Amino acid sequence: MLLLKHRLATRWHHWINFPVLSLMILSGLFIYWAWDPYRIGFGETTLLHMFPDWFYKFSGIGKKLSLGMAMHFVFGWVFALNGIAYVAYMWLSGEWRELLPDAKCFRQAIAVVKHDLGLGPLPPQGRYNAAQRITYSAVIAMGGLSLLTGLAIYKPVQLAWLTSLLGGYQWARWEHFWLTMGFIGFFGIHVAQVIRAGWVNFRSMVAGYDDVAPSRSRRAFLALGGGAVAAFAGAGWLFSGKPEEGDIPPNLRNVLKFNERVVRSALYDNANLAPTFPASAIGKLKANGVEGLEEELVPAAWRLEVRPYQASEFTRKLTLDEIKALPRYEETIEFKCVEGWSTVTQFAGARLSDFTARFAPGSERAACIGMNTPDEVYYVGIDMPSALHPQTLLAWEMNGQPLTDEHGAPLRLVIPVKYGIKNIKRIGRIWYTDARPADYWAEYGYDWYAGL
């Protein structure tokens, strides 16, 4: 029985945990592939950008943020479910006793490091030596922390308590990044050690036995091959089907929709508020994205056209003053762009829920709201619960000043439960509908829901 358990635990480490973690890291690298804030450095000094320009030139691979995000949020399930099952197994089987380091381990570990550096004799070993016990346990703890920091970044509003426990959104990003670097370091050292230990050791790793009879070893390798084939079949399914122009493959898109359903039924609540900040925390929000802002704005000519639920036309054409007559709200929130940056910014405006009650009463029954710019170049779709969130504003002021053109004058959407992509600038039209409105960035492979 003991032998059987060892086989399972050892195979689990090497057959499942290793590939699953690799997938997570690879898909994460696609995200780091996107934008300059990812760098290794200290203070003002940057040692390495993620990734440097030469990397793009050399590899010929473009930036893949939307694909990377989609993959990461699919493999996240595999990572989390496998991690939970693995830890549960170690716990229930009692094998954690062999893995978790005790005080003696730390003394022994120093001796093992000395041995590895060729400075001393190898201390007596159990199934795992002290250094292995310490590193393997650390790696499992790191897996748990990666999951928590990842969730804190994925849903920083719905899980605001978790995000603030980890030091806030930017700290959670930092922690998640350095945990990843830690895994990569562990892989490097680990693989080097396995190569040094030689074929027999590698064979016993795969087989899950210390002493491997050739027939058992053959069977183990066959099973491993079978697992690899199954994994390829899974990947084949995920990437099958032809994506629309610029979009991600349909099954990948389906997983994003599944994630949306899980979040909307189990996590999302309009009582969950985005954290707010004091005025001293306000940073400089950069102007990002000019789609739909190219034409010169003539403030006096601007109107907001509104089509209520089940109406066939845009029945209202509102001036800014009519909208400003609604109750005014101010909020200082952390504005988050999918590209990986965020800036604390203050906005003032009217709640979209008040706007709807006043200018399109009854339209709350619609499933969605669509909005576009006057020239129809930029457009977003918003699910109704998020639209009615108390922090969702139609804003005309930013950091105490009237909105500038580049930030979306005369009126923009501020929706802290969504990424920046949904915060449409210079709104021209609002309509209420059950059919999911088209969304500019969703057409480029980003999640339509884009909820935080």
Ligand X SMILES: Nc1nc2c(c(=O)[nH]1)N[C@H]1C(S)=C(S)[C@@H](COP(=O)(O)O)O[C@H]1N2
Q: First CA to last CA across the chain, in angstroms? A: 47
Q: In terms of CB distance, is 104 or 284 closer to ligand X?
A: 284
Would you call the peptide bond into 239 cis, given omega within 30 degrees of 0 as the criterion?
A: no
Strands (E), 11-158: 39-42, 45-49
Q: Which of the ranges 80-88, 205-213, 402-410, 414-422 carries the binding residues for Mo ion, by CB under 5 A?
A: 414-422
Is 408 among the residues that bind Mo ion (CB under 5 A)? no
By CB under 6 A, name the one of 48, 110, 213, 287 that touches ligand X: 287
Alpha helices (runs of H) in 155-269, residue ranges in sequence order: 160-165, 169-197, 199-207, 214-238, 250-266
Cα radius of gyration rounded to whole Å, the chain = 27
Q: Using CB under 6 A, which residues numbered 309 to 348 contact ligand X?
A: 337
**Minimum distance from CB of 422 to ligand X (Å)?**
7
Q: What DSSP state is assigned to residue 312? A: S
**Minimum distance from CB of 283 to ligand X (Å)?**
11
Is 21 among the residues that bind ligand X (CB under 6 A)? no
Query: What does the alpha-carbon distance between residue 374 and residue 384 come to, in Å, rounded to a whole number?
Result: 22
Query: What does the alpha-carbon distance between residue 163 and residue 176 come to, in Å, rounded to a whole number?
Result: 12
Q: Which of the ranges 51-59, 141-149, 307-315, 420-428 carries the binding residues for Mo ion, by CB under 5 A?
A: 420-428
Neighbours of 193 (CB within 10 A): 13
Is 373 among the residues that bind ligand X (CB under 6 A)? yes
User: 445, exposed or middle or buried, with CB in 10 Å at 0-12, 13-18, 19+?
Assistant: buried
**Minimum distance from CB of 288 to ligand X (Å)?**
4
**Minimum distance from CB of 43 to ligand X (Å)?**
26
Q: Which of the ranges 107-115, 233-241, 305-313, 421-429 carries the binding residues for ligand X, by CB under 6 A?
A: 421-429
Q: Which of the ranges 128-136, 178-186, 304-312, 418-426 carries the binding residues for ligand X, by CB under 6 A?
A: 418-426
Q: In terms of CB distance, is 285 or 394 closer to ligand X?
A: 285
Is 133 among the residues that bind ligand X (CB under 6 A)? no
Q: Which of the ranges 30-38, 92-100, 381-389, 422-430 carries the binding residues for ligand X, by CB under 6 A?
A: 422-430
Question: Measured between alpha carbons, how far is residue 145 from residues 141, 148, 150, 179, 426 in Å?
Answer: 6, 5, 8, 8, 40
Q: Which of the ranges 209-217, 257-265, 267-275, 291-299 carries the binding residues for ligand X, by CB under 6 A?
A: 291-299
Q: Using CB under 5 A, which residues numbered 319 to 358 contact Mo ion?
A: 337
Is 293 among the residues that bind ligand X (CB under 6 A)? yes
Q: In terms of CB distance, is 122 or 287 closer to ligand X?
A: 287
407 binds, among ligand X, Mo ion, none (CB under 5 to 8 A by kind): ligand X
By CB under 6 A, name the one of 28, 168, 420, 445 that touches ligand X: 420
309 φ, ψ to 5°? -55, 135
Is 420 among the residues that bind Mo ion (CB under 5 A)? yes
**Minimum distance from CB of 428 to ligand X (Å)?**
9
Q: In terms of CB distance, is 338 or 369 closer to Mo ion?
A: 338
CB distance 263 to 155 below 8 Å: yes
Q: In terms of CB distance, is 112 or 421 closer to Mo ion?
A: 421
Is 424 among the residues that bind ligand X (CB under 6 A)? yes
By CB under 6 A, name the one of 155, 351, 407, 429 that touches ligand X: 407
Is 428 among the residues that bind ligand X (CB under 6 A)? no
- DSSP-based three-state secondary structure for 330: strand
What sign has the CA pseudo-torsion 141, 147, 151, 154? positive
142-145, long-range: CB < 8 A, 24+ apart: 142/179, 142/182, 142/183, 143/17, 143/21, 143/79, 143/83, 144/83, 144/87, 145/175, 145/179
Query: What does the alpha-carbon distance between residue 54 and residue 16 come to, in Å, rounded to a whole number?
Result: 34
Binding residues for Mo ion (CB under 5 A): 337, 420-421
Binding residues for ligand X (CB under 6 A): 285-293, 337, 373, 378, 407, 420-421, 423-426
